Amino acid sequence: MITSIFEFLDQNLGGAFWFPFLLLGVGLVFTIYLGFPQIRFFRHAWQVLRGRYSHHDDPGDTSHFQALSTALSGTVGTGNIGGVAFAIFLGGPAALFWMWATAFFGMTTKYVEVSVSHKYRKLDDNGYMAGGPMYYMKYGLQPKALGIVLAYFFAIATVVSSFGSGNMPQANNMAVGIETSFAIPTWITGAVLATLLGLVIVGGIRRIALVASTLVPLMGGLYAAGAIAVLATHYDNILPSFMAVFQQAFTGSAAVGGFLGASFAYAFNRGVNRGLYSNEAGQGSAPIAHASAKTKESAAEGMVAILEPFIDTLIICTLTGLVILSSGVWQEKHETDFAVFDTEIVVGEFSESNPTHVAQLSAHLDLIPPSNDPVKPFTGTLTSQGGAFDLTGITILHNRSIAENVMVLKAGEAYTGPVEIADGALAESGFTLRGDSLLHSVPLTAQAFKSSFLGSAGEYMVTIGLVLFAFSTAIAWSYYGDRAVTFLVGTRWVLPYRMLYVGGFFLATIVDTSLLWLISAVTVALMTIPNLIGIALMAPEVRRMTNDYWRKQDGSTEESQSSG
């Protein structure tokens, strides 16, 4: 029931055909409206980041670098390891192209949302900066009534998303990754990391920024080194992988190996969707971190934010994508326990060697299946003998592929007896299906790293990177949530929120990962839509802020030259 609700919401929000057009459209319009700021302001952004224009008495709680690190720690998370793998699993090489497009236009979107949010930040009851889209919406947006409605909707969505996007998927992926690599039970991982999380976030933005500014460079460097090692192993596949990304961008990804193919619409939608989840451009989360930066010039902090999608998506996500594509593991089947959410038993015996069957299954698994879909879910009773189904007249699908060597287990042992199937799914709990199928998310990335000369050490490197990425993301999102709570009900409710946040982090270590990805997709959309509406309405003010900033810079340069 819960899965059905979130599937419906995802299909009509982040998964809807119009959502990628809205996201890319706003970025494209602002890119033209502001004259390609992601290119023109890029060099200046690095100068601001290094503190060239900073003054010690500027208002705020963190330096430019600490604010960027906090925002990056919120975006450089499991999306860079598992999210990219998930996008390629769904849409093939073409999905990576649309992640790049999202990042390029997202650089402008970041500039806009951070600049205007920084301008309308306020001091909270404890003397710390509180900012984000809810503040520009309430205090700067016209008509005022619309601004207030959007502000409170966004703030509520941020609190929910702090659990559904920044907290629970991160915790779950960490726990599963550590269990897979080091055989440590998920609840132990959850208990230890939840305790560490609590110790960090209780210190507020200054402790969060200090931890983030240490973790981000460390984890980024370690992960990049591992990815380069994998690419060196498969160097001869790098160029063909790049070519596949561009060749299939506007046609959809062709079926290859165990991958059943993906239409253009599917690759486009999922590439943009995962791109947003990775760099969060337009979502409105990063402006909350940047609002803490010490500066009187809000446009300057917006320029620093331009660097986020560049680092997060155009560098780190690209490394992950090329690692997966060049290794070829994205089209290979590997033994895995089947997630209920990703499993379907259908009527008929389908084969990957039959082009008609492949086309039918691909259409069945597409964003919108055809109305005359010949692939029907199976309902009835199957018999398992010694752990094996009689596959006469049926096909088992898992992870968008035809599953092979499927075993039926109950309490960890091969099961003999009847198994009830309802609408393509197991009707009874207690059963586990295990077999060979495509992989997605973190296991796919780990398999790609293992395929290099690093061997099993590659998997450990992914796990370590995953823990660092995910933990830093959870830290940043706790701050986003507590600033939203401050906006909604005041600082007195921040401590109860933090306690719930830590509790949710622990709970997520024992929840099905596929459902969590679905929840995160929904909550991301609930933040993004009101924020995109808001910044679109603030467009004239953003251009005035930009022009004013450059006039001041030109004046400062002239004054410096005349005094010299």
- Compute the distance between CA of residue 28 and CA of residue 236 in angstroms, rounded to an integer: 35
Instruction: Please list the ranges in the chain whose pLDDT falls under 50.
Output: 558-564
Helix, strand, coil fractions of the chain, as percent rounded to 5: 65, 10, 25
What letters, b where the CB count within 10 A reaches 16 and e where it falls short, cover 542-563?
beebbeebeeeeeeeeeeeeee
Judge: domain 21-332+448-550, CATH 1.20.1740: yes
**What is the rounded distance in angstroms from the CA atom of residue 543 to the CA atom of residue 564?**
32
* Dist CA 335 CA 355 (whole Å): 25
Distances (CA, A) of 157 to 109, 221, 527: 19, 33, 6
Residue with tokens 């000369």: 453
| Residue-wise DSSP of 332-400 | S-EEEEPPGGGEEEEES---TT-HHHHHHHHHHTSSS--TT----B--EEEEEETTEE--TTEEEEETT
Sign of CA dihedral 178, 180, 183, 184: positive
**Alpha-carbon dihedral angle through residues 350, 353, 355, 360, given to the nearest 10 degrees:** 20
The DSSP letter of residue 509 is G
Tokens of 36: 């390609």
Per residue in 410-428, pLDDT (tens digit) is 988 999 999 999 999 999 8
Q: How far apart are CA 370 and CA 261, in angstroms?
A: 15
Confidence (pLDDT) at 559: 45
How far, in Å, CA of 360 to CA of 422, rounded? 22
Q: Where in the chain is the domain with CATH 1.20.1740?
A: 21-332+448-550
- The helix (run of H) or strand (run of E) holding residue 442 is helix 441-450
Per-residue pLDDT, 563: 42
CB-based burial of residue 250 (10 Å sphere; 0-12 exposed, 13-18 middle, 19+ buried)?
A: exposed
SS (H, E, C) 305-350: HCHHHHHHHHHHHHHHHHHHHHHCHHHCCEEEECCHHHEEEEECCC
CA angle 185, 190, 194 (to 5 degrees): 160
* pTM (2 d.p.): 0.85
- The 3-state secondary structure of 44-92, one letter per residue: HHHHHHCCCCCCCCCCCCECHHHHHHHHHHHHCCHHHHHHHHHHHHHHC
Please identify which residue in the block is written with the tokens 């070519």: 243
Q: For residue 206, give the nearest of 304, 293, 331 by alpha carbon.
A: 293
